Homo-oligomer: A and B are copies of this chain.
Amino acid sequence: MAYQPPVREQLFLLREVLDIGQYGDLPGFADADDETVEQILQEAARFNAEVIAPLNSVGDKAGCVWRPDNTVTTPEGFKAAYRALVEGGWPALGADPAWGGQGLPAVVNLAVSEMASSANMAFSMYPGLTHGAYSAISVGGSPEQKALYLPRLASGQWGGTMNLTEPHCGTDLGLLRTRATPSPDGSYRITGQKIWISGGEHDLAENIVHLVLARIEGAPSGTRGISLFIVPKFIPNADGSLGARNSVVCAGLEEKMGIHGSATCVMVHEDAVGWLVGEENRGLAVMFVMMNEARLGVGLQGLAQGEAAYQAAAAFAKDRLQGRALTGPKNADGPADPILVHPDVRRMLLDSRAILEAGRAFLFWTALCGDLARRHPDEAGRQRAEDYMGLMTPVLKGYLTDRGFNICSEAMQVHGGSGFTEHFPVSQYLRDCRITLIYEGTNGVQALDLVGRKLAAHGGRAVTTFFAEIDAFIAAESDNDGLRPFAEALAGAKARLQDGTLWLMQNGLSNPDNAGAASTDYMHLFGLTGLTFMWALMAKAALARIIAGDADPFYANKLLVGRHFIERILPQAGAHLARLKAGSSTLMSFPAESF
């Protein structure tokens, strides 16, 4: 069975759990009434299932092809699909109406992005990175830069990239060597080699706008001397028409385990013409806008590959006849029972559902914070939403990609031997998903960002607010009998996370190695707690419908998956807390030369 976008799940979250209708008087949300949102999601589902998803395996098998004239050809069908994407106006869905966008809330846009990523992760990266470039110029660009670039990036007419990594520097951008020399006309000449540049060269868009980190001659060393530049493939004229070919070229493609349809380029800048974005030496601040957006997007990719893999596994388990149920035949007239009769197969599938459904809720909840951070009418509301965005971004990136990869692996396991062959889609989901644990900052870097920066920001204001919100939710629902198992699970999860947070405060400040040693387990504990909160919110919404007499099995199923989460996913929290408290002394005392 081909991928089916989970529109019903998404609408449940938008309407019944997050109730985005309550923000109808805010900009953007006014145009996102129930009916419009449903129409958009249905149309997006059709487009992604029928146009984009069929190219996923094609792209994996063919890959992108680099030629000695420095051009890159994307897999067959990508070009036509990209044209359809742009003509359908999909890239512009969440962009500012001032630049030709539709201005829909980010949370609605995220639902569409999920479908795109499940349908074809490699293909979806081209518009995904373009949107990142759009955001960076939105934040840091001059009015002229905005007017020239934003409408064309918003529509997808031009593509966008992030040029950060160099061979000797990935995580540690302070080491970067690409240099920028001022020209008399106010532009710069950029020289250096960048690697792992997604969408650095391709045949989909008429121009490609590279956002490049480089060091202006004489700038301080380290991260305080890095500036951000726009380096377009074709230098645009003021009216947007294309001028000369810039001297930034793709010198080759990376051979990778997955996302073969995404061109991962070595980019060589040789006196390429670039324009400074924002202030000199403040490039990282702008790039982090792009990166934070990208991190949320990568968390979504992890979830989206997991969802697609789950769907493939569930279909296989219903279809594959092999053996008999432990309790006697369930398909007595057939040669064997479907393997879905086996508890261990159901465990793998429900483990996946329990993470995917709450992971999606957590992503949507956080994306809504992103909307409210910009659009909430009062300052306190904006600050709270901004705090949450900052705190949850590394959690979602790290936790959901880790779990998404495991879900892909479980989905392969459900397939048995078939899963290891390339005739079934699950190997590609697994291979494509694996990069999400790595790029935009490895999950270890996310965990360090969480414990070293996000947690401590503003005296721990974000996490304190989060704990208070959970406490208030539990108190408010104390009479809700049906919700009791979820409220109790939430109280337990929150207590463990609070315990871990306290341990970090007491042990991580005095010895940063303790914070580093605890970081990954803390991130997972945080992710689990976030998911438990989401299950409580979803269970509350489902219970309300059941009590109101709604007989749709969707709601009863939701409670069952939630119960499964409590029984089988949440017990992991205790192990994370124990490991977190193990400290760093054993780790750090092992001799370096003995590794």
Residues of A within 8 A of B (CB): 165, 168-172, 175, 196, 254-258, 314, 317-318, 321-323, 326-327, 335-336, 338, 340, 342-350, 405, 409, 412-413, 416-417, 419-423, 427, 430-431, 434-435, 437-439, 442-444, 447-448, 452, 511-517, 519-520, 553, 557, 560-561, 563-564, 567-568, 571-572, 574-575, 578-579, 582, 584, 586-592, 594-595
Contacts and interface: CB of A to CB of B under 8 A. Distances in A.
Nearest to A310: B595
Nearest to A322: B172
B579 A564 contact: no
A416 B430 contact: no
A444 B413 contact: yes
Given A257-B427, A344-B520, A420-B435, A571 B567 contact: no
Given A165-B417, A420-B258, A439-B417, A322 B170 contact: yes
A335 B590 CA distance: 24
Given A175-B336, A561-B590, A592-B340, A513 B405 contact: no
Given A340-B595, A409-B405, A567 B590 contact: no
B594 A343 contact: no
A444 B342 contact: yes
Contact of A519 (B327, B344, B563, B564): B344
Q: Which 7 pairs, one residue from A and one from B, show the smallest C-beta to C-beta distance?
A: A343-B516, A326-B512, A571-B578, A343-B517, A567-B582, A314-B595, A255-B422
Contacts of A574: 571, 574-575, 578
A416 B170 CA distance: 9
Contact of A322 (B169, B419, B430, B571): B169
B422 A438 contact: no
Contacts of A416: 170-171, 438, 442
Contact of A344 (B257, B342, B447): B447
Contacts of A165: 417
Contacts of A405: 409
B255 A421 contact: yes
A421 B582 contact: no
Contacts of A169: 322
Q: Among A342, A350, A431, A437, which residue has the most Cβ atoms of chain B within 10 A?
A: A342
A2 to B, nearest CB: 16
A435 B35 CA distance: 47
Contact of A587 (B350, B571, B572): B350
Contacts of A595: 314, 317-318, 340, 346, 349
Given A420-B257, A516-B343, A557-B590, A443 B413 contact: yes
Nearest to A447: B344
Nearest to A437: B413
Contacts of A196: 417
Given A516-B326, A595-B349, A343 B571 contact: no
List the number of copies, as a whole number: 2
A441 B175 CA distance: 49
Contacts of A327: 511-513
Nearest to A422: B255
Contact of A257 (B326, B343, B431, B438): B431
A422 B405 CA distance: 19
A516 B347 CA distance: 9
A557 B594 contact: yes
Contacts of A347: 517, 520, 587
Given A256-B420, A412-B438, 9 more contacts: A171-B322, A254-B421, A258-B420, A318-B592, A340-B592, A343-B514, A343-B588, A344-B516, A574-B578
Contact of A326 (B172, B345, B513, B594): B513
Contacts of A579: 567-568, 571
Nearest to A523: B344
A321 B167 CA distance: 11
Nearest to A431: B257
A346 B516 CA distance: 10
A291 to B, nearest CB: 15
A115 to B, nearest CB: 20
Contacts of A437: 409, 413
A582 B568 contact: yes
Nearest to A315: B595
22 contacts: A170-B417, A171-B322, A172-B322, A175-B322, A256-B422, A257-B430, A257-B431, A314-B595, A317-B595, A318-B595, A326-B512, A327-B512, A338-B592, A343-B513, A343-B588, A345-B444, A347-B517, A413-B438, A553-B594, A564-B590, A568-B582, A571-B578
A169 B338 CA distance: 12
Contacts of A434: 409, 412, 420, 430
A399 B594 CA distance: 26
Nearest to A576: B571
Contacts of A557: 590-591, 594
A349 to B, nearest CB: 6
A571 B592 CA distance: 25
A231 to B, nearest CB: 21
Contacts of A514: 343
B175 A343 contact: no
A586 B571 contact: no
A284 to B, nearest CB: 14
